[in-house]
Amino acid sequence: MKLNYFRSFKRFLKVICRGRRQVLWECSLKERFANSPLGYQMRRFSLFIAFFAVGIVCSFAASLAQSVSLVGKSITFEKLIKEISDKSSLKFIYTNDHVKAMRPKDLNLVNVPVSRALDEYFKNQSIHYKLEDQTVILFEAPEKRTAANAGNRARVQQQNEVRGRVILDNEGELETTAGVSIRVQGTNRIAMTNANGDFKIEAKKGDILVFSMLGYGSENRKIDDERELRVTLKASAMGLDDVVVTGYQTQERRTITGSMAQLKAADFEHMPLQSFDQAMQGRMSGVLVQGGSGVPGGPMRVEIRGLGSISAGTQPLYIVDGAEINAEDAASNITASNPLSFINPDDIESIEVLKDAAAASIYGAQAANGVVLITTKSGKAGKTNFTANYYKGLTEPMPLIDMMNAQQYLNVRMEAVANLNPTLTPEQVRTAVLKEAQLPITMTDGEIAALPTYDWQSE
């Protein structure tokens, strides 16, 4: 037992000696580093950072502690900014909408800190503020944003999402498949089923959903309070006696060898169209219809099976009741009208598009880009029918733009010329801008400020 105690005591002394040597080595290392030039520089840098941070905090605190006086009725936000900016180094970040939303307030503050003046002015305002690095940042109150979001949600709730499943009944055999078309009657909203027959579409109460698929009868469902629908489409025999118009005759569809597409009046009679070419948009395979200029009522560009030439035109040949019409836009400006707008879409019985060379061959080279055949309605036996269409809609006017006056415009123009030509003196810049504006170069600032200003938006 004594031997074991002796050995344990010996190991304990070794550990103490080893730890002492380690401590002495670390102290020696720290002493050498502290006396080196690098250690001296690091101590100086640490002191600089500490004093810099203290200076920033003191400066910010001093700005908020500055005293301001605001006494009067209906004190505007501009007066508040001017008073605080004159007495402190605080800067303001805001927009014109913030200024318009700010209500003038009656204040009676004498020699109060800047922080209290801000709190008193922004109390019960729809705009709040926060302080960041000697900058006052204005932002919209959270409750106001919540109210705006609630209004948006109310508008979105006018159109609810309808879900459901479509089942195909093929002589007693039930199945689901993708590709069933669901359309909101009278609109362009269309949805398709997935592989499980499920669908979802935006529709409001009272809308009629039209379910259709090639080889099956269509089904109409009126939307009520039910949000989950289950629709069954039954198989039907396809009619092969559909008659279409070709270049020189009427022909049954089953006997046609060329490639063509047909659009009947029932497909677009309930749509507000300015010209019949808009009716073909998105309803014929291989036919691309898009606006050329974006101007309301402007010409449409129709391409059949893509571009056939880079340099030549892409306009197809238009035939109305057997007569060729000129659809070329001769105007060179961007506000050109649509040359096809003289054809009333309500007068059209059907539209056929001949897409390949075999179908359009009788028209020769002028039909290289395809042919659009238009058949208008004719009188029918029976009672006299009158059709009247009425469409209405709502739109919001564009907000007016804040325009510059003559003095502001010339100042901005001088700044632009000075930035573009840094070698010019201020006098040379002023002379160049006045010459450009066809004004006398001897005009004073007072004469420039007296120049008339016109706002074209209110003319």
Whether 369 and 253 share a structural domain:
yes
Whether 140 and 162 share a structural domain:
no
Whether 274 and 346 share a structural domain:
yes
**Edge-to-edge strand list for the sheet holding 216-222:** 190-192, 181-184, 208-213, 216-222
Please check whether residue 19 lies inside any domain of the structure. no
Name the strand (E) or helix (H) holding 150.
helix 142-156
Please check whether residue 211 lies inside any domain of the structure. yes
Whether 329 and 301 share a structural domain:
yes
> What is the residue range of 336's domain?
243-376
Whether 328 and 362 share a structural domain:
yes
Question: For every one of its 459 residues, what pLDDT tens digit does the chain have, with 9 covering 90 and above?
Answer: 334 444 554 555 454 555 444 444 444 444 554 555 655 566 666 655 654 454 444 444 455 557 777 788 888 888 888 888 777 777 888 888 888 888 888 888 888 887 788 888 888 888 888 877 778 888 876 655 554 555 555 454 445 788 899 998 877 778 888 888 999 988 888 888 998 889 999 888 888 999 988 778 889 998 887 778 899 988 875 544 455 555 555 555 555 556 778 888 878 777 777 777 777 777 788 888 877 666 666 677 788 877 766 666 778 888 888 888 776 655 545 555 566 677 888 888 888 888 877 766 777 777 788 888 888 888 776 677 787 777 777 777 777 888 888 888 889 999 999 999 989 998 999 999 999 888 898 888 888 888 888 877 776
What does 5-26 look like in DSSP terms, one character per residue?
A: HHHHHHHHHHHHHHHHHHHHHH
Report how far residue 278's alpha carbon sits from residue 298's, in angstroms, rounded to the nearest whole number. 11
Is the full-model pTM beyond 0.85?
no
- Count of structural domains, the chain: 4
Name the strand (E) or helix (H) holding 352.
strand 348-354
Whether 350 and 431 share a structural domain:
no
Whether 127 and 162 share a structural domain:
no
Whether 248 and 366 share a structural domain:
yes
> Nearest to residue 125, comparing CAs of 77, 72, 64?
77
Please check whether residue 53 lies inside any domain of the structure. no
Whether 254 and 362 share a structural domain:
yes
Whether 317 and 279 share a structural domain:
yes
CB 339 within 8 A of CB 299: yes
